[in-house]
Amino acid sequence: MENKVIVCRCEDVTLEDIHALIKQGYRTIDEIKRVSRAGMGPCQGRTCRMLIAQELAKAYGVSMEEVIMPTFRPTVKPVKLGIFVGGE
Amino acid sequence: MKQTEILVVGGGPAGLCAASAAAELGADVLILERDSKPGGQLVKQTHKFFGSKKQYAGDRGIQIGDFLLEQVESNPKVEVWPDATCLGIYEDGVVTAEKDDKHIKIKPERIIIATGAAEKALMFPNNDLPGIYGAGAVQTLMNVAGVVPGKRVLMVGAGNIGLIVSYQLLQAGVEVAAVIEAAPHIGGYLVHASKIRRAGVPILTSHTVKEAYGNDTLEGAIICRLDEKWQPIPGTEQDIKADVMCLAVGLSPLTELCWQAGCKMKYIAELSGHVPVRNEYLETTRPGLYVAGDVSGVEEASSAMVEGRLAGISAALSLGYGKDKAPQLQAEALAELKELRSGPTGEKIMNGIMKLLGKEGAAC
């Protein structure tokens, strides 16, 4: 047991990692994603996105409505490159 | 490229009802369902529904799912694609999907998004130990796959999902150590809570998980009381032995496709997260794109079915179908939704919807 608090279980990002990034000045979910990969795994942030938003809201003293959401792009779930080969 | 008049994304209660309603008025409908059997969460719901006869009160969720599926399959205007996942919605109106390991393009005239919701997680030390599940996952494991998750369960959350899954665990012969709830009161219906209390399961309100422990898998958890400001009270810790923990701490609307489609979104806590801004008839700020069910705010399956019907009628009407009948059907659906949302739980939903429609305080 390591007593870790997992925020992003796909990419194994902990609450401690998120707090350290916020301390360094990262302010948005997208910024945190780019440096930590939180939200880039199989579930594409469905589990961790709002948990990170909650931490950002707390740290910067803003409401949840004010936390900037990341950009949502196709594809909404990871797919194999092979599906494009014979596909449209 | 596949052409269709109305594309329904998601074959749960909202999507199936949307498809039926639109097809009955004469529109051609295609349903994309990511699972191999449509029905959404209904496929694992072995409990009986409440409400009125029109929302199938007295029937079990699984029966309702089968009935809704029969209804769409018997309508030649509806095509159902199981094992097909919607991947994207583009600016030119093209929708992409993965089906049979191929990337497919669809050009619909109207889109109804009924993608539902996903389970929320909780943060505490060792929250990734094997044995810690979402309550919905445990329900799928038991009621769909026929596998019990373990021997002794700690249920976190006393909303309807937490209470119902606890009862179903007891039915499957699994011990439920306790149901704990961070709020000072039970969130779900009293009838569900009474059933598990009668079976001797304690329901501890104002309690949360402090930490989980175990060597390779979950062995137990330390829970503690919360004060009125939701802060842990030192000295109130209890050790609960359990090899399974179920998290039933709410759902988040699955809105990725709405964001992508450029719908205006709003964070509304009463509706469980970000939801698309829409009008009374469930059309979003992107013309021709409708939403129904949990994706537009987390509620019960009963209201998801009625919302689906309303979105289906409205999308069909916008294509010129059912001009004589549709307005009456829309009025009926709106009246049913109002009735479903008239109870104490409905009040919260109504507040959320008023905020969404920009009519805050309109009722005061």
- Rank A77-86, B179-188, B353-362 by mean pLDDT and report only the highest: B179-188
Q: Does A68 touch chain B (CB under 8 A)?
A: no
Assess if residue A60 is contained within a domain.
yes
Q: Is A13 helix (H, G, I), strand (E, B) or coil?
A: strand
- Residue B256's closest chain A neighbor by CA? A72
Q: What is the pLDDT of residues B33-52, one digit of tens each?
A: 999 999 999 999 988 887 77
pLDDT (average), residues B200-229: 97
Instruction: Report the 3 state secondary structure along chain B.
Output: CEEEEEEEECCCHHHHHHHHHHHHCCCCEEEECCCCCCCHHHHHCCCECCCCHHHCCCCEHHHHHHHHHHHHHCCCCEEEECCEEEEEECCCCCEEEEECCEEEEEEEEEEEECCCEEECCCCCCCCCCCCEEEHHHHHHHHHCCCCCCCCEEEEECCCHHHHHHHHHHHHCCCEEEEEEECCCCCCCCHHHHHHHHHCCCCEEECEEEEEEECCCCCCEEEEEEECCCCCECCCCCEEEECCEEEECCCEEECCHHHHHCCCCEEEEHHHCEEEECECCCCEECCCCEEECHHHHCCCCHHHHHHHHHHHHHHHHHHCCCCCCCHHHHHHHHHHHHHHHCCCHHHHHHHHHHHHHCCCCCCCC
Task: Evaluate whether residue B363 is within a structural domain.
Answer: no
Q: How confident is the model at residue B363 (pLDDT cuts 50, 70, 90)?
A: very low
Are B240 and B156 part of one and the same domain?
A: yes
Q: What does the pLDDT read at residue B57?
A: 84
In chain A, which residues have their Cβ closer than 8 Å to the Cβ of B126?
A: 1-4
Q: Based on the structure, what is the number of domains in chain B?
A: 2
Q: What confidence score (pLDDT) does residue B362 get?
A: 54
Predicted confidence (pLDDT) per residue in B60-80, tens digit: 999 999 999 999 999 999 999
Does residue A34 belong to any structural domain of this protein? yes
Using the 3D structure, point to which of B187, B214, B247 is the last residue of a domain: B247
B155 shares a domain with B92: no
- A86 confidence band (pLDDT: 50, 70, 90): confident
Asked if A4 has any chain B CB less than 8 Å from its own CB, the reply is yes
Same domain assignment for residues B135 and B216:
yes
CB contact under 8 A, B104 and A82: no
On whether the CB atoms of residues B4 and B29 are closer than 8 A, the answer is: yes
Q: Write down which residue in B247, B281, B301 finishes a domain.
A: B247
pLDDT digits (tens, 9 = 90+) for B272-288: 999 999 999 999 999 99
Cis peptide before A75 (omega within 30 of 0): yes
Task: Examine residue B362 and state whether it is found in any structural domain, yes or no.
Answer: no
CA–CA min distance A37, chain B (Å) = 18
Q: pLDDT tier at A2 (50, 70, 90 boundaries)?
A: confident
Q: B261 and B241: one domain? A: no
Cβ pairs bridging A and B (under 8 Å): 86
CATH number at residue B225: 3.50.50.60
Q: Is the separation of the CB atoms in B81 and B7 below 8 Å?
A: no
Domain containing A43 equals 6-85
Whether residues A80 and B101 touch (CB distance < 8 A) is answered with yes
Residues B103 and B211 in one domain: no
Q: What percent of chain B has pLDDT over 90?
A: 91
Residues B14 and B113 in one domain: yes
Residues A61-66, mean pLDDT to the nearest whole number = 96
Evaluate whether residue B113 is within a structural domain. Answer: yes
**Chain B residues with CB-CB distance to A48 below 8 A:** 121
Strands B2-9 and B29-32: parallel
Instruction: Give the span between the Cα atoms of B276 and B261, in whole angstroms.
Output: 10
Query: Looking at the domain assignment, is residue B361 inside a domain?
Result: no
B25 or B361, which is more confident: B25
Q: In which residue are the tokens 């996942």 written?
A: B85
Q: What is the CATH number of the domain that holds A70?
A: 1.10.10
pLDDT tens, residue by residue, A8-32: 999 999 999 999 999 999 999 999 9
pLDDT above 80 for B177: yes
When divided into structural domains, chain A yields a total of: 1
% of residues, chain B, pLDDT over 70: 99
Would the pLDDT of A44 be above 70?
A: yes
Same domain for B193 and B77, yes or no, is no
Q: Taking Cα atoms as reference points, which of B86, B90, B115, B108 lies closest to residue B99?
A: B86
Say if the Cβ atoms of B259 and A4 lie within 8 Å. no
> pTM of the prediction?
0.95
Mutate: best of A7, A72, A79, A81, partner B, most B CBs <10 A: A72
Q: Which amino acid is at B338?
A: K
Q: Other C-beta atoms within 10 Å of B131: how many?
A: 20
Task: Provide the pLDDT for residue A1.
Answer: 66
Determine the structural domain holding residue B129 and report its residue range. 121-247
Mean pLDDT of B147-155: 97
In a domain, B27, yes or no: yes
**Which value, to the nearest 10 degrees, does the dihedral of the CA atoms of residues B285, B287, B290, B295 take?**
-30
Residues B340 and B193 in one domain: no
Residue B262, pLDDT above cutoff 50: yes
Whether A1 is in a domain gets the answer no
B198, B268: one domain: no
* Residue B275 within a domain: yes
Average pLDDT, chain B: 95
Closest in B89, B104, B252 to A50, CB measured: B252
Same domain, B226 and B270: no
Q: Is A81 on the interface with B (CB under 8 A)?
A: no
Indicate if B79 and B157 belong to the same structural domain. Answer: no
CA distance B42 to chain A (A): 21
Tell me, yes or no, whether B79 and B97 share the same domain. Answer: yes
Decide if B143 is inside a domain. yes
B364 confidence band (pLDDT: 50, 70, 90): very low
Phi/psi of residue B184, nearest 5 degrees: -75, -5
pLDDT at position B361? 57
Q: Please say which residue of B247, B281, B300 terminates a domain.
A: B247
Q: For residue range B310-324, what is the model confidence (pLDDT) as tens digits?
A: 999 999 999 999 999
Residue A67 placed within a domain: yes
